Amino acid sequence: MRILIVNRHIDHIAGGSETQCHEIATALAARGHEVVYAVCRPQAGHRMHPYEIHPLRGRFGAAFERALAEVRPQIVYWRFNKRHLLRSVLGARRSGAKFVFAVSHVNDLRPFAAKPFRAAELGPLRRSARALGRARIAASGAVNHLALRLVDGIVYQHAGQIPARATGRHVVIHNCARPVRAPDGAGGVASAADGAGPGVDTGMPQRYVLWAANLKQSKNPEEFVRLAADLEHTGVEFRMAGEIQDRAYRRLVESDGLPRNFRYLGHQPRDALDALMSRCLLLAHTCDPEGFPNVFIQAWSHGKPVASLRFDPGALLAKHGIGLCAGGDYASFRADVERLISDEALRETIGRRALAFVREHCDRERNVARLEAFFAELLAAGAP
């Protein structure tokens, strides 16, 4: 099959959907497919990859039409949310390609939605301008939402994303774990102590709770700092890893009033974050509901439990016993984290279930084989 994958690229942004697209493209290429990655908002420079890179330069609509003409894909796998979606679906139809929309965020399924904007320290005029921008994004999203009725297939990350009255061809495929390269002490992805990056201890182990995400409004990093202060009596360190994407949060992590048991590690490359995951007690998650957090899978791959303040994707934490969700109640979240810190047997029990879940539901080769079969089903169905 000739497959065109559309999204931003992991070489330029360390996001969850970009990570998934890279893994999917790599696995599809290894299975003998002709894979071209159409990179949205391209930047200079790319590493070598087992698939072709096609930067979408200039105006998006014209660039995507050129990609369709040059690549002549049989399948377009779109993971760029609903940006430019309606026009792109119509263009793919004209070219004869099947269009597969992959859900990456809860907003992908809402007719009117826009993510919180950055820069909480903006003045009133700029904040008003930014709010108007969000309104325009929401209106554009509503128009592009109509395209979901025209796509040939939809891939959901978990069953909780499927609308009650869903029609058309669709499939549920969980996000993929990065393939294991060598065993470590936790039985998950190999850690790389020699590439652990700044702020990561590679000597005597320190008991710590890990938080991993980019620092911006929707991730609520201030809640993790509050948690560190509230649980200082446990003697456990609270480590935050992630790039600052909202400048307001630089003041948070550089404040003189930070709890003594809190450490901000900055952005951590994938191998370094794996090393941190392999040694932590648990992953604490304070983010707003989004899609299917890759950091959950990363923690589970190392046999680590997840304690989530707000979000349980598809009720998987509760259903499979692979973590605890407080349903937005901070007091319950603090109690969950303190319980997991103190109860080693509980951590080990949840960790064993988490490893089993990842091996069963997040194996890259198995999940990409299911995606490949879904593509083949759409192609066999012929014209709509």
Is residue 300 domain-shared with residue 371, that is, in the same domain?
no
Residue-wise pLDDT for 45-80, tens only, equals: 788 999 999 999 999 999 999 999 999 999 999 999
pLDDT at 353: 98
Measured CA to CA, the distance from residue 1 to residue 29 in angstroms comes to 10
Is residue 257 domain-shared with residue 163, that is, in the same domain?
no
Q: Where in the sequence is the domain holding 207, given as residue range(s)?
A: 193-361
More confident residue, 180 or 262: 262
Total structural domains within the chain:
2
Q: What is the CATH number of the domain that holds 32?
A: 3.40.50.2000
Residue-wise pLDDT for 165-180, tens only, equals: 877 899 999 999 987 5
Is residue 325 domain-shared with residue 207, that is, in the same domain?
yes
For the chain, report the end-to-end CA distance as a whole number of angstroms: 19
Is residue 171 domain-shared with residue 257, that is, in the same domain?
no
Is residue 86 domain-shared with residue 31, that is, in the same domain?
yes
CA nearest 153: which of 140, 172, 175?
172
Measured CA to CA, the distance from residue 37 to residue 6 in angstroms comes to 6
- Please, which pLDDT band fits residue 135 given cuts at 50, 70 and 90? low
